[in-house]
Amino acid sequence: MEFMHFDLGQMSGGEIVEISLSGSAANVRLLDSTNFSSYRAGHPYRCIGGLARRSPVRLEVPHVSHWHVIVDMAGLSGTTKAVARVIARPRSSG
């Protein structure tokens, strides 16, 4: 399966990853390294995210790990382009 891959590296929990899409709706998934390996091998995996019909998509990193964003068109028609960036977690006031 073809997919776009963004290697985010080691991250601590709480960061927000923003994925901007241009084109058709796409599947946007945030996976740790173990689940990314399972995804690539066609095995069951767990992820955060799913079908994105609107852009941008913001996903929160839940815990410390090495993280990856995958954008694919599995089960969808059309094409899309994607850009991913990490946004620092907003500081709470008070």
pLDDT tens across 52-75, in order? 999 999 999 999 999 999 999 998
74-85 confidence digits (pLDDT tens): 989 999 999 999
Residue 19, Cβ neighbours under 10 Å: how many? 24
Report the pLDDT value the prediction gives residue 80, as an integer from 0 to 100.
Answer: 93
Full-model pTM: 0.89
Spatial distance between the Cα atoms of 69 and 4, rounded to a whole number of angstroms: 8
Average pLDDT, the chain: 93
